Amino acid sequence: MPLSGFPEYLPAERLAEQYVLDVIRRTFELHGFASIETRAVEPIERLVGSGEDADKEIYGVHRLAARSDERGGSDAELGLHFDLTVPFARYVVENAGKLAFPFRRYQIQKVWRGERPQEGRYREFTQADIDIVDAGELSPHFEAEVPLVVAEIFRQLPIGDFRIQVNNRKIPEGFYLGIGLTDVVGTLRIVDKLDKIGPDKVAALLVEAGATPEQAKQCLALAGIRTEDLSFVEQVRALGVQHPTLDEGLAALAAVIGTGLDLAPGTLVADLRIARGLDYYTGTVYETQLVGHESYGSVCSGGRYDSLATDGRTTYPGVGISIGVSRLLGLVIGRWGLTATRSTPTVVLVALTDEDGRGDALRTASALRARGIATEVAPRADRFGKQIRYADRRGIPYVWFPGAAGASDEVKDIRSGDQVAVDAATWAPPAEDLTPGLVRPP
RNA sequence: GUGGGCGUAGCUCAGCAGGUAGAGCAUCGCGUUGUGGUCGCGAGGGUCGCGGGUUCAAGCCCCGUCGCUCACCCCA
């Protein structure tokens, strides 16, 4: 019985997932990020401390044999981590003496959240994170770097157009303070519903929360600003609000968008309505949607955090971004039907004339594997039609026939039907057949 | 956590005044003792989510329960 929120894929879909993970890993490493893995559990106290009402999402972990009065006793209560940033912050502090700063790491792991599952929302899912953390001060140029790495990954995947929306929390914060609204978080939360409930209802909620109609109108005006270039600065200025925090935010966002314009035009969008992500973000925040699937939710988000990690003497500010691998796959596999070109890594099935030929077949397979060609030997010496069907069912592209009595071996591409005489010591498939690829059904 | 929808074969579904379960697809076998995909024939496979109740009789009605699903909340 499947458990809701704990997805499990069939082999072909898992191969598609691995393909995506391979692209992610290769690109992270290409940009010089080093891999780490942190334990699955953290003391609950640490997990709760970072997020407001994160506690209701946390899965607790304890020994079944532990009596209830032991839980929370001398041993700290443990919970499964709900993201990779909080454990990473702990890891940085613990290992600060052995790490070289600025420290760049990537981390691809499962995380758990105890929320009601829906399409694209799971209780167990995979995130792929990069973060850059420094000791004391973090240079702002890193805030432009991390989303561009993600853009490079997404461009390699068959997911269509995407937009990485960028904002800086200091912009709404300074703006709200500048017009006299002091409940920054509450205002953000309401404005964030804009896409879902529309401007009229947002305005109504803001007024209900204590804003004047004029303030509500100003908030909506700010939230409506979205540009692919630096003109958002002018548009905000035109609203006539003054506050030093607003100035800081505009300068910081302009720097990020400017770098994006220079290096990867069209991928970063300044969008002054987005504010989401966990609440430890202090400046730049990112959120990513696939064009045409905006309502599916963000498939990648992150931001800058100034004081998530601290040992009391030194703080370690960082900036990071997290690809929601499971959510992304939920869309492209679940909704689009994307899958792998075959359900097994096997490139070649070595056919068997009879059981006496198994020894030779195993030697043929070894010769092919020695050159990196994934090979398996037919399970039974069925008639060739069945052996070909064995390959066909699995999407294995080639069947290898042993040559009879001194004749040369032959390999057949069962997609085209082409069959040629070959030598196991030298034959190789075209590069595109070496590993499973991705296919999207018509 | 709150509120709606739905649970029959591996999948999509049918079934009915309540009368002891069916189709298509998939799987497997044979036709085809050695080169598949088409076609033909055939086979296997179900405690009708689970438990209780009403009834001579329940997949169908009633109660409960579990699960799945959608929305809210929140987020990847």
Average pLDDT over residues A93-119: 93
| A160 DSSP 8-state letter | -
Q: Is the CB of A342 under 7 A from strand B?
A: no
Is the separation of the CB atoms in A378 and A352 below 8 Å?
A: yes
Q: What's the CA A1/C1' B51 distance, rounded, in angstroms?
A: 19
Which tens digit of pLDDT belongs to each residue from A163-195?
999 999 999 999 999 999 888 888 888 888 887
Which tens digit of pLDDT belongs to each residue from A338-368?
889 998 999 999 999 988 899 999 999 999 9
Given this model, what pLDDT does residue A70 score?
A: 53
Q: Is the CB of A384 under 7 A from strand B?
A: yes
Given this model, what pLDDT does residue A167 score?
A: 94
Does pLDDT of A212 surpass 60? Answer: yes
Which tens digit of pLDDT belongs to each residue from A116-147?
888 888 999 999 999 999 999 999 999 999 99
Does pLDDT of A372 surpass 50? Answer: yes
Q: What's the CA A57/C1' B8 distance, rounded, in angstroms?
A: 36
Q: How far apart are CA A133 and CA A92, in angstroms?
A: 8
Is the separation of the CB atoms in A108 and A25 below 8 Å?
A: yes
Helix (H, G, I), strand (E, B) or coil at A269: strand
Share of chain A above pLDDT 90, in %: 64
CATH number of A348-439: 3.40.50.800
Does pLDDT of A277 surpass 80? Answer: no
Q: How far apart are CA A94 and CA A269, in angstroms?
A: 36
pLDDT tier at A388, thresholds 50, 70, 90: very high
Q: What's the CA A391/C1' B12 distance, rounded, in angstroms?
A: 27
pLDDT tier at A279, thresholds 50, 70, 90: confident
Assigned token pair, A400: 């290898």
Given this model, what pLDDT does residue A53 score?
A: 53
Helix or strand holding residue A311 (H, E): none
Given this model, what pLDDT does residue A20 score?
A: 95
Share of chain A above pLDDT 70, in %: 94
Which tens digit of pLDDT belongs to each residue from A225-268?
999 999 999 999 999 999 999 999 999 999 999 999 999 998 99
Given this model, what pLDDT does residue A36 score?
A: 97
| A121 DSSP 8-state letter | B
Which tens digit of pLDDT belongs to each residue from A51-101?
545 566 888 887 777 655 555 444 568 889 999 999 999 999 999 999 999
Q: Name the packing angle between helices A184-191 and A213-223 (round to 10°).
A: 60
Give the angle A406-A407-A412 at the CA atoms, nearest 5°.
Answer: 140
Helix or strand holding residue A73 (H, E): none
Given this model, what pLDDT does residue A400 score?
A: 96
pLDDT tier at A154, thresholds 50, 70, 90: very high
Question: Which nucleotides in chain B lie closer than 7 A to a protein CB?
Answer: 1-3, 27-29, 32-37, 67-76
The residues of A between 175 and 194 with beta carbon within 7 Å of nucleic strand B are: 189, 193
Q: What's the CA A73/C1' B55 distance, rounded, in angstroms?
A: 57
pLDDT tier at A278, thresholds 50, 70, 90: low
Say yes or no: ipTM exceeds 0.95.
no
The residues of A between 105 and 164 with beta carbon within 7 Å of nucleic strand B are: 113, 115-123, 125, 127
Given this model, what pLDDT does residue A62 score?
A: 79
Q: Residue type at A403?
A: G
Given this model, what pLDDT does residue A257 score?
A: 96
pLDDT averaged over chain A?
90
Q: How far apart are CA A61 and CA A42, in angstroms?
A: 10
